[in-house]
């Protein structure tokens, strides 16, 4: 089905059968997903969730030369304040020595607008944004209120496109529409593909090659590749992947995060698109191939030693560079294994629990297992077909590894922590706090200045783990002095007792 013919991208629940409710083992989830049994699951009690606006704003506010208009109640843009530091860091890493942070406006819809409609306010905001900032693109993010009252953001963009100089990108991102926040990635790429990327061959690109204009055909011949970065990829991660790709002689057009809109206009002329996380990039790369004939490789994250080697091999096969790739893999892994030797004895047998986005949790679990650690439990925020590759690897090691698919739901996490008593919890900070209060050592699964990807990432994760596990007394003391908000009886209950249904 060609979703691009529709104004709105599909929900992940329908497109991929994604779910956010499961409790069991990796062996069970693999079987149940394949037989369709994860459909229609639900929670009888839910402690919270994450609106798709959060990942959407994380990507969109990082774009260069763009204004983001959050069309809705003013609170819908609240999460952008928390993104300020990482947006500025991204701008700094992209060469802006005086980063200004996120540039976003809100249409600040109120009760009157709910009755009379918000389109006029949106029109005025777009015109004002164009006049005041002269951006390359203006992104309109539709939230719950305009979704419910029926504001036609595509119609507004159409009506204004001759009046403003910026390219207008309406994105349907209503939080109520989906339980899978990763739907936001499809919504973003959907709008860029429909409204910005025409793939006209006469285009010349001045953003590339030190401001010298080059033609599309010349770019293709020069082994230009699209590298699909993600918002939870750090500056050092990007450098590591660029380092490996440049060893293969490739030139990189990186997008979407921290990119200029011209990187999207350039993308149809690349020789290959390279994904780093299928949860983020499968929609974009699939349509880039269908619409413009750009082949792609993806399906896994370059986190972990074997995963990084497999990622390089996939790229090399597509571009006829397998001999060069094997040489690079050999020299990189020899050096890495040598460097890891003094660290591994400190990590061997340590018991770990992890949580984060689907691919990141599972790929990091595979890395930690490569470092000799024992995986007790994984908590991906959602699960769908993309998780299958990594789940199979974990299943081979131990089919009884616990898996709890949950966006937030710390009550389930704390219950599992009490039962399994891991030595270490590796997750995002919003999850790590619960483990810390249980007395468990923590390692952020993503930190803006650390490195996780590629061979350098594997080494650095091991180095940081050794340091974290050397002295665990801080969190042990913390647990003695904080109270969890749960009654004692909850710890003897089945952690998954509120997960119901399934076909």
Q: Could you list the residues that contact ligand SF4 (CB under 6 A)?
A: 51, 53, 72, 76, 143-144, 174-176
Helical segments of 255-387, H only? 261-266, 278-292, 305-319, 322-347, 358-370
* Count of other CB atoms within 10 angstroms of residue 2: 8
Nearer to ligand SF4 (CB atom), residue 51 or residue 257: 51
Task: Give the closest residue to 382 by CA, choosing from 179, 232, 190.
Answer: 179
Least distance CB 230 / ligand SF4 (angstroms) = 21
Place of tokens 């999460």: 79
Shortest distance, position 79 Cβ to ligand SF4, whole Å = 8
CB of 176 vs ligand SF4, minimal distance in Å: 6
Nearer CB in complex with ligand SF4: 49/448: 49
Q: Which residues of 133-147 are buried (b: 16+ CB within 10 A; e: fewer)?
A: eebbbbbbbbbbbbb
Angle at 294 between CA 289 and CA 300, to 5 degrees: 75
Q: How far is CA 43 from CA 50, 361, 433, 499, in A?
A: 15, 22, 23, 5
Cβ(415)–Cβ(390) under 8 Å? no
Q: How far is the CB of 171 from ligand SF4 (least distance, A)?
A: 12
Which is closer to ligand SF4, CB of 176 or CB of 474? 176
Q: Cβ closer to ligand SF4: 61 or 314?
A: 61
Q: Of 91 and 143, which has the nearer Cβ to ligand SF4?
A: 143
- Distance CA(68)–CA(172), nearest Å, equals 13
Q: Which residues contact 10 (CB under 8 A, 6 or more apart)?
A: 3, 186
Q: Cα(285)–Cα(272) distance, rounded to whole angstroms?
A: 9
Instruction: Tell me the C-alpha distance between 28 and 33, whole Å.
Output: 8
- Alpha-carbon span 399 to 397, nearest angstrom: 7
Instruction: Output DSSP code: residue 383.
Output: B
**Closest approach of Cβ 72 to ligand SF4, in Å?**
5
Nearer to ligand SF4, 48 or 293 (CB): 48
Task: Please give the Cα distance from 145 to 44 (Å, whole number).
Answer: 26
Shortest spacing between CB 255 and ligand SF4, in angstroms? 25
Whichever of 174 and 431 has its CB closer to ligand SF4, that residue is 174
CB of 13 to ligand SF4, least distance (A): 16
Our CB check for ligand SF4 shows the closer of 143 and 314 to be: 143
Q: How far is the CB of 174 from ligand SF4 (least distance, A)?
A: 6
- Return d(Cα 216, Cα 450) in angstroms, integer: 35
Residue with Cβ nearer ligand SF4 (144 or 324)? 144
Residue closest to ligand SF4 (Cβ): 175
CB 349, min distance to ligand SF4, A = 43
Q: Strand pairing partners for 403?
A: 24, 378
């Amino acid at each position: 089905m060609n979703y691009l013919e529709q104004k709105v991208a599909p929900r992940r629940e329908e497109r991929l059968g994604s779910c956010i409710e499961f409790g069991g083992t990796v062996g069970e989830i693999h079987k149940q997903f394949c037989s369709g049994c994860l459909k229609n699951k639900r929670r009888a009690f839910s402690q919270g969730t994450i609106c798709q606006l959060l990942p959407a704003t994380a990507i969109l506010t990082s774009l260069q030369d763009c204004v983001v208009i959050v069309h809705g109640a003013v609170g819908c843009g609240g999460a952008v304040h928390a993104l300020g530091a990482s947006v500025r860091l991204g701008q700094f890493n992209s060469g802006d020595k005086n980063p200004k942070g996120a540039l976003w406006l809100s249409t600040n819809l109120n009760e009157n607008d709910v009755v009379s409609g918000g389109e006029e306010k949106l029109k005025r905001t777009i015109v004002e944004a164009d006049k005041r900032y002269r951006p390359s693109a203006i992104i309109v993010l539709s939230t719950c209120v305009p979704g419910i009252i029926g504001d036609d953001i595509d119609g507004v963009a159409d009506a204004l496109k001759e009046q403003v100089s910026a390219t207008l990108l309406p994105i349907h991102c209503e939080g109520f529409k989906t339980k899978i926040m990763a739907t936001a990635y499809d919504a973003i790429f959907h709008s860029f593909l429909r409204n910005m990327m025409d793939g006209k061959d006469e285009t010349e690109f001045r953003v590339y090659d030190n401001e010298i204009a080059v033609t599309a055909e010349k770019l293709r011949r020069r082994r230009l590749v699209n590298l699909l970065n993600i918002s939870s990829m750090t500056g050092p991660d990007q450098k590591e992947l660029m380092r490996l790709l440049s060893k293969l002689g490739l030139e990189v057009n990186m997008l979407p995060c921290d990119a200029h809109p011209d990187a999207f206009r350039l993308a149809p002329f690349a020789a290959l698109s390279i994904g780093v996380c299928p949860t983020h990039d499968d929609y974009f790369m699939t349509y880039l191939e269908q619409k413009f004939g750009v082949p792609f490789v993806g399906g896994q994250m370059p986190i972990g030693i074997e995963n990084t080697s497999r990622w390089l091999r996939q790229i090399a096969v597509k571009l006829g560079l397998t001999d060069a790739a094997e040489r690079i893999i050999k020299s990189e892994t020899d050096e890495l294994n040598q460097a890891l030797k003094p660290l591994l004895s400190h990590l061997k047998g340590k018991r770990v629990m992890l949580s984060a986005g689907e691919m990141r949790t599972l790929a990091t679990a595979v890395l930690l297992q490569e470092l000799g650690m024992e995986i007790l439990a994984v908590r991906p925020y959602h699960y769908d077909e993309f998780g299958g590759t990594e789940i199979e690897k974990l299943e081979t090691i131990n089919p009884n590894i616990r898996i709890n698919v949950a966006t937030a739901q710390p009550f389930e996490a704390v219950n599992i922590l009490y039962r399994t008593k891991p030595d270490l919890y590796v997750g995002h900070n919003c999850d790590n706090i619960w483990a810390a209060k249980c007395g468990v050592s923590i390692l952020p699964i993503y930190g803006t200045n650390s490195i996780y990807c590629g061979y350098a990432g594997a080494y650095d994760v091991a180095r940081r783990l050794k340091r974290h596990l050397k002295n665990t007394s801080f969190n042990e003391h913390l647990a003695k002095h904080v109270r969890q908000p749960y009654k004692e009886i909850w710890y003897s209950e089945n952690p998954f007792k509120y997960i119901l249904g399934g076909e």
